[in-house]
Amino acid sequence: MAVKVQQEDFDPGAEMATLTDGNHAIGGVASFIGLVRDMAKGEQIGAMTLEHYPGMTEKMLAEIEAEAHKRWPLDASLIIHRYGRLEPGDRIVLVVTASAHREAALESCHFLIDWLKTRAPFWKLEETEDGAGSWVDARDSDDAAAERWQQKDPSKAAE
C-alpha cells in the first residue's frame, strides 16, 4: 500500500512498474488517471488549485486505501494525488490496484476513485480564463457513486 500527496507531476508507467516489480502473483492491474478539464459548468477553465491539510490528507487517503484492502484481495495499491495550481491537461490523481484476479483489481480501483472524490480532504478552486475563481462544491452524482459502495461493504451486510 502506498499513498503520495505531492505537487510534482508523476509518470504513471514508472509508478505502475515500481508497484508490480517482481510480484508474479499479480494477474491484473487496474488504473485511473484523473486530469484537469478545460471546461466546468459550461465555462472555460484556465487553472485549478487544489489545497489540503498536510498530515490529515495522507491519513485519510491511507484509511480509504486500507478499506479497499479489507474488501478485496489486493497484492498492491497506489494513490498519488497532487495539490497546488494545475492547468488543463495536467494529471491530478493516479489510482492503481493490483490483484491475482482482474475483478478485484477493477472493482477496487473503481471504489477508490469514488471514495477519493467524496472523502479525500481536498478543496478545489477553479479559475476561469479571465482570472476569476470559484470554489467547487460537492456534486450529488459523486455522493451517489460513493453511496453504492456502502451497500457492497461486507461489514454492513448484517444491517
**What global pTM score does this model have?**
0.86
Cα–Cα distance measured from residue 6 to residue 50, given in angstroms and rounded to the nearest whole number = 11
Give percent helix, percent strand, percent coil of the chain, each to the nearest 5: 35, 35, 30
Asked if pLDDT for residue 150 goes beyond 90, the answer is no
**What pLDDT, on the 0 to 100 scale, is given for residue 138?**
61
pLDDT of residue 135 exceeding 50, the answer is yes
| Residue, of 158 and 10, whose pLDDT is higher | 10
Is the pLDDT higher at 99 or at 115?
99
Summary mean pLDDT of the chain: 87
At residue 64's C-alpha, the angle toward residues 59 and 65, to 5°, is 95
Mean pLDDT for the stretch of residues 25-51: 91
SS3 at position 155: helix
CATH of domain 2-154: 3.90.1170.40
